[in-house]
Amino acid sequence: MLRHLSIHNYALINQLSIDFTKGLSIITGETGAGKSILLGALGLVMGNRADLSSLKNTEKKCIIEAKFAVEGYSLHSLFEEFDIDYEEETIIRREILPSGKSRAFVNDTPVNLSILTALKIKLLDIHSQHQTSELSDVSFQFSIIDALAKNKTKITSYKNGMKKYTSLIKELKILKEETQKSKEQYAYNSHLFNEFEEAELIVGEQEILEEKLHTLNNVEEIKQHLSEALDISSNEEIGIQNSFYSLENSLQKVSIYSKNYEEIANRVTSIKLELDDVIAELENANDEVDFNPNEIEELNDRLQLIYNLQKKHSVNSIEELLVIFESLSERVAQVEDAGALIEAKNSEIKEVTNKLDEFAVLITKSRNKAIPKLQKELEYLLTELGMPNARFLIELNESETYFSNGKDVLSFLFSANKGGNFGELKKVASGGELSRIMLSVKKILSENIQLPTIIFDEIDTGVSGEVSNKIAKIMKDMGVDMQVITITHLPQIAAKGLQHYKVFKGEENGVTTSNLKLLSVDERIIEIAEMLSGKDVSESALIHAKELLN
């Protein structure tokens, strides 16, 4: 509920600060006194567009601040979503600077106007005789029925299912599109895949083959140098091996005379053993070197296959080819497995739609049960409000389409006259009738769900007598469970408020200003008496005013 409103430098208002309480509050005042300015200020603080014309003094900034008690509105998740500190008494502030720029704050956190708009939906509902278009909005009509049907939990479950359903449909569409693209390239990808599969590439294979081929292509030179190395190493007359035998033999004979000689002899022995091992490996290598034209041809063919694949795929290694092979494998498998994947996705969608259908049936049943009650209550309230022949024809038709709130198509028709044809509200109801229908709807909603603060802006225009008393009673009844603020010209309605505020014009330093004040009991009597008889208040008007207040 709205607890406090502060306005500084806005339109005709220099400075205004006023508290509001729960229940029904009345705002009255002469035409042009500034009632619309109050609504404009509230609209501004809740996100409406602003410009320099809003400033009373264009050299100073305009500040509008509204304090709301929000503990009953379950707004924790919304504040968390917007990254705003949650306070049970939330302060919303709007500033319009002389430059024309505006700033907005929620609990001192800077916010954009979209956040104010989202909060406005939860906190403030302003209605005038010309603002009844939502009555013809199908979503609003459903919200009325669902409030009576207590469908909130069912619809929440249904909407969660719809999110899953929408996501799965999107995934299926993407899968089908990708499958179609893959099918178009399947033959070519399959050919490439088969080439790789037949090649049986092995990591590191290319380097081994290139080294082996290089060896075979130089086999004569290798053979020659290996033979020379063996001759130098093991020739019986001049070979290094024989010389080391002699060296070892001589040093062993003197090793008994000194540890120094022994160490040298041991080192020579170690070198000789290493030399013997090297010579053995040289002999093996020499024996293995053999010119084989067939092997060279095989190696060349294998390497050429690898080179061709590398050139074809613009890479330089077998590792890169294997990455491409893996990708081709996935693309080929995607097409070959596509049928199973699509079938699995369809099965998942079927499972979700079955759940959606279950919730939709429950929602439809509770709506059908609530509709007769809604028609009866609306027709009763409208009879009380001077429309005894008002009739509603509300019907549901089940659809195969999944809508955001179920599978129902709603027909919400109205007839104001006895024997008249039913038609759409906006086509067959006048402005005054729509205002009374809206009041009735809000009365019913207030008994079934938590509504934001409602401000009725002269929706009683054009009514009088007993009807005005009934309007006043409905507003007062609504105020038992919520905050209702009404701007009115009717004394019957003004007398029903728990609080009564008056908008009036004054003058400061030769400049016209608008002000708002909370009236005392005596001031209320005079204000209502003036509403009854005009500025020249008669004794009978005062008596009548007291009777109305009592």
Cross-strand partners of 103: 95
d(CA 309, CA 312): 5
Q: Which long-range contacts (CB under 8 A, 24 or more apart) does 55-58 make?
A: 55/9, 55/10, 55/96, 55/98, 56/9, 56/10, 56/11, 56/12, 56/13, 56/14, 57/9, 58/98
Phi-psi region of 292 (alpha: psi -120 to 50; beta: other; left: phi over 0): beta
Report d(CA 505, CA 405) in Å as an integer.
48
Pick the CATH number of 1-129+452-519 from 3.40.50.300, 3.60.110.10, 3.40.1160.10, 1.10.240.10: 3.40.50.300
* N- to C-terminal Cα separation, the chain: 27
Measure the CA–CA gap between 487 and 457, rounded to whole angstroms: 5
What are the domain boundaries of the chain? 1-129+452-519, 188-333, 521-550
Regions of the chain with pLDDT less than 50: none
Q: Rounded distance, CA 361 to CA 349, Å?
A: 18
Give the long-range contacts of residues 422-425, CB within 8 A, separation 24 or more. Answer: 422/391, 422/393, 424/136, 425/135, 425/136
> Which pLDDT does position 203 carry in this prediction?
87
Pairing of strands 483-487, 453-457: parallel
Q: How far apart are the C-alpha atoms of 34 and 192, rounded to whole Å?
A: 81
Cα separation values, 324 from 1, 313, 550, Å: 65, 8, 90
pLDDT at 445: 92
Please answer whether residues 494 and 488 qualify as being in contact, where contact means their C-beta atoms are separated by less than 8 angstroms.
yes
Euclidean distance between CA atoms 407 and 399, whole angstroms: 5
Report the alpha-carbon distance of residue 335 to residue 353 in Å, rounded: 27
Cα(361)–Cα(308) distance, integer angstroms? 65
What local confidence, expressed as pLDDT, does residue 327 receive?
A: 83
Question: Residue 208 is which amino acid?
Answer: I
d(CA 429, CA 366): 28
How do 89-96 and 102-106 pair as beta strands?
antiparallel
pLDDT at 432: 82
Q: φ and ψ at 5, to 5 degrees? A: -130, 130
Q: Annotate 142-172 with b (16+ C-beta within 10 A) or e (fewer).
A: bbbbbbbbebeebbebbeebbebbeebeeeb
Total Cβ atoms within 10 A of residue 466:
12
pLDDT computed for residue 186 by the predictor: 66
Query: Which uninterrupted H or E stretch holds 11?
Result: none
Q: What pLDDT sits at residue 131?
A: 66
Q: Which of 95, 55, 80 is nearest to 104 (CA)?
A: 95
Residue appearing with tokens 């049943």: 365
**Phi and psi for 160 in degrees, rounded to 5?**
-60, -40
Closest of 181, 172, 68 to residue 119, by C-alpha: 68
